[in-house]
Amino acid sequence: MNILIVGGHAKANFLTKSLKESGHNVTIINKDKEWCKIMAHSHGIVGVYGDGTKPFVLKDAGAIEMDTVIALCNKDSANLVICEVAKKQFKVKNTFAVVNDPKNIRIFKKLGVDKVISSTEILSDMIEFEAVIDNLINYLPMENEKIILSEFEVDARSQVADKRIKDIDLPPESLIAYIIRGDEMVICAEGNCELKISDKVIVLSRSKDFAKITSLFFWRK
C-alpha cells in the first residue's frame, strides 16, 4: 500500500517505522526541511519539504498514486484541507486525520474524512488505524472514543515478564486479548499463560487506563 503522511514529528516517525516494517511504501510531507532529510535518510523513504495543504505539494509527493493519506498537523483546519484535497482532487481512497479539538470529529466525518482520531485520546505517540493498515496494532480508538486496543512487547524490564496473566494487576475492565509469540498467536482464556520476554501482547482497555497498563510493560516495581 502507498501511504502519504503529512505533518507530525514523533507520531510521523513512529508511524513510518511501523508501516515500513509492515511492508507499506511511505512518503512524508513536512514543513520542517531538516526533519524531512532526517526521516528520508533514517527510514529510506521519500521526504517532500513543503506545505501539505497546497495541492502542488501533494502532487509533487505523488498523491495521485496514494492509497491512503494521513494528516498529522497541529492545526485541525490544515488536516481537514489535506484530507479534502487528497480525496476530491487526487481521488485518494482512504483519508485519516488527527484533530486537537474533539468537537471537530463529527464535522470532519460529515465532510468525508474516513477516519478521525482525537489527539486528546492519544496518551502516547502510538497510533493505529483500523482495517486499512494491516498489522499495525498500537493504538486503536473505537467508535465511542473510550476503548482502545494496544500492543506491548514484553522485555526484561517489564513487571509482567514471566508472570501468568491471571497474576497481573490489570485495571478493571481490561483484558489481554491474545499473545503473539514468534509466528504463533496464543489465546489464553483461563489466564494461566505465562508472558515471556519478546512476547507481543494485545490489550483491550479503557483509554483512561492506558498509562497504568503501559507502566506494567515498561517499568518494574
112-129: pLDDT as tens digits: 998 888 765 543 333 343
Give me the mean pLDDT over the 96-115 stretch.
87
Which pLDDT value is given to residue 62?
97
Which pLDDT value is given to residue 103?
82
**Mean pLDDT rounded to a whole number for the chain:** 81
127-181: pLDDT as tens digits: 343 333 333 334 434 444 456 767 788 888 788 999 999 999 888 878 887 788 8
- 3-state SS class at 177: strand
Give me the mean pLDDT over the 18-36 stretch.
89
Query: How many Å apart are CA 72 and CA 42, to the nearest integer?
Result: 20
Query: How many Å apart are CA 67 and CA 138, to the nearest integer?
Result: 21
Q: For residues 159 and 5, which has the higher predicted lDDT (pLDDT)?
A: 5
Which pLDDT value is given to residue 200?
85
Does 204 score more than 70 pLDDT? yes
Which pLDDT value is given to residue 131?
36
Which pLDDT value is given to residue 147?
64
Q: Domain coordinates of the chain in residue numbers?
A: 2-126, 147-218
Query: How many Å apart are CA 73 and CA 94, to the nearest integer?
Result: 17
Give me the mean pLDDT over the 90-108 stretch.
88
Q: What is the third-level CATH fold of 147-218?
A: Alpha-Beta Plaits (3.30.70)
Does 9 score more than 60 pLDDT? yes
- Among the residue ranges 28-37, 123-132, 192-201, the one predicted with the least confidence is 123-132
Report the chain's terminal Cα–Cα distance, integer Å: 42
Give me the mean pLDDT over the 62-68 stretch.
95
Residue with cell 474524512: 113
Give me the mean pLDDT over the 78-96 stretch.
94
Under CATH, to which class is 2-126 assigned?
alpha beta
